[in-house]
Structure 1
Amino acid sequence: MFPDDHRKRIRFCWPLFKTCETLVALTLKGKFVLDVPGDVLFPCLKKIDLVSIVYSCDKSLTNLISGCPKLEELNVERLIRDDNLEIFKVSSPFLKRLGQMYKYKFSIEPLCIIEAHVTIDGSISKELLSCLSSAKMLALTNETIWDLTGRAYNLPVFPNLVKLEIGMDSIWDPNWLLSLLNSMPILEHITLSERLRSHYIYRNYDWKPPVEAPDCLRLNMKEILINNETGTHEEFIFIKYLLKHSNNLEKLT
């Protein structure tokens, strides 16, 4: 960890780690300049956390990930505007968890992700969603779903997803959310979060609930967590709909 000092930037010294064949977790936090050569190899490394890192170029991060053949968990928090990273390219056969993917253009090969926390300020591609479709746990923030609102009917199926957390500050369209749930047949837990911040953009609907509810509501839903609702009539009708059709619901918060 290096202090967040705008006057100093420290180039991380990779040669020190060339003999660390048993290293399983690596955390770098602070304004380290990441300049990873192509010959870096961490044969046992399973977890990487990168917070507020400056990258020499896109290739630097790609080299780091490629040099970790057993990598299972990757968490990248981009808290510096001028970090020089434009394309986030991931190719790791055992990667199971992605965390805090923020403001990146993605180039991700098909993976076996089981858990992903995705924050993207802009367009999220269908290709990225397809790479995450094997996930069991998925968190999508407000910025991430903004571009999805017009494409809920053309989303990949998430056959393994059991837990979903989704920000609903950007939109409030019950039909869109139900369409999304239709692509998650075994979902058991849903968290609706991130409300109350942009009340002025909410639209009022004379919503007519569909007769047939998504399969996950009728057959599998066990827990619903609702954070920071504004208490509108439309929200009340929607919550009532969730309760009516969640036949196996065990917990509502």
Structure 2
Amino acid sequence: MKSLKTLHLIHAFYTNDESICNLLSGCPRLEELVVERTCEYSVKFFTIKVPSLQRFRIYDDNDEDEFVGYVIDTPSLKYLEIGYLGCPQFSLNALGLLAVYIARVSNVISESLVSVRRLVLNVSTSMTIYPPTGCIFYQLVYLQIYTPEPGWYDLLTWMLEHSPKLQVLKLVGKYRIKPDYHVLGWEWNKPKSVPECLLSHLETFVWRRYDWKREKEEEVATYLLKNARGLKNATFSTGPIEPGQLDKLKQRRRTRKKIGWCAQGF
């Protein structure tokens, strides 16, 4: 398949590790690869070595004990999307990455991530997504973080401290079926000093599904608005208030007044 540029492997069955390598080695011009896997016991290491590959999407909820992980060697890769990945090992060589989306991943540690310009994180905060110690996201200008559970505050702090050129920050709250659901007992570790990106680069701040009732979210919003000295645009959106919920409307107005006062300087 010397002319093939796009390949989608959706719940395919592989004889062994070598069968994957043989298949991909026969596609020397491959530019886009999609891999979706579920329960499959014949592969130990899923190796993807494609020098021409530019776009790669992988969704894997395989929980078989025999499967160890992925070895990805794609020096031309520009766009990477990873979801539902729970394997013990994940090796990535893709130093030219521009945009990455990571969702529900248990272990992605790679220096390749520090080259990205756009990064979307939709991960459990108990999982490890941080690059090795000392790595800085010098190229990152767009960051989007989903906030599905307690602990995302610390992930936000870590990313702000390690993304000195960040220009756009977007937070996306969790949609809750029970609107009165709250998580207690989690404290936010603020940055020890104001991150460089807030002092000189951040221009746009968006918070979708903002919860006006949660003090921790108000604390985060207040900190960002007070310290983002170059901020030009800030947008907060939330769910509608049903008729008869005047207490929520009053709470929202109080919070809006607080946040508005913090934002007067930008």
Task: Identify whether the pair has TM-score above 0.5, normalized to the shorter chain.
Answer: yes
What is the alpha-carbon distance in structure 1 between the residues aligned to residue 127 and residue 20 of structure 2? Answer: 36
Q: Which of 96, 99, 103 is the aligned partner of 1:112? A: 96
- Residue 224 (1) aligns with residue 205 (2): yes
Query: How far apart, in 2, do the equivalents of 1:83 and 1:70 lie?
Result: 31
Partner residue, 1:4: none
Which residue in 1 is equivalent to 2:86? Answer: 103
Distance 1:37 1:152 in 2: 28
Once the two structures are superposed, residues 104-148 of structure 1 have per-residue CA deviations (whole angstroms, 9 ceiling, x without a partner) of 3212236222111123543554xx2x22111111122232x3245
Shift in CA distance, 58/112, structure 1 to aligned 2, threshold 3 Å = farther
Aligned 1:74-223 pairs, distance under 5 A: 74-82=56-64, 85-101=67-83, 102-104=85-87, 105-109=89-93, 111-125=95-109, 128=110, 130-143=111-124, 145-147=125-127, 154=133, 156-172=135-151, 174=153, 177-195=156-174, 199-203=181-185, 205=187, 212-223=193-204
Give, in angstroms, the shift of residue 172 of structure 1: 4.4
Change (3 A) 1:208 1:178: closer
Is the contact between residue 113 and residue 134 of structure 1 (CA under 8 Å) also seen in structure 2?
yes
2:42 to 34, 56, 73: 56
C-alpha deviations, 1:175-220, integer Å up to 9, x for none? Answer: 6633430110111112222435595543365x79669521212222
**RMSD across aligned positions (CA):** 3.3
TM-score of the aligned structures, taking structure 2 as reference length: 0.70
Cα contact 1:163–1:188 (8 A) shared by 2: yes
In the other structure, the counterpart of 2:241 is none
Give the % identical residues.
20
Which segments of 5 or more consecutive residues in structure 2 lack a partner in the other structure?
237-266
**Aligned-partner Cα distance in 1 for 2:81–2:149:** 21
**TM-score (ref. length: structure 1):** 0.73
Matches of 1:118 and 1:248 in 2, distance apart? Answer: 27
Q: Report the 3-state secondary structure (helix = DSSP H, G, I; strand = E; otherwise coil) of the residue aligned with 1:236.
A: helix
Match of 1:249 in 2: 232
Aligned positions, number:
223
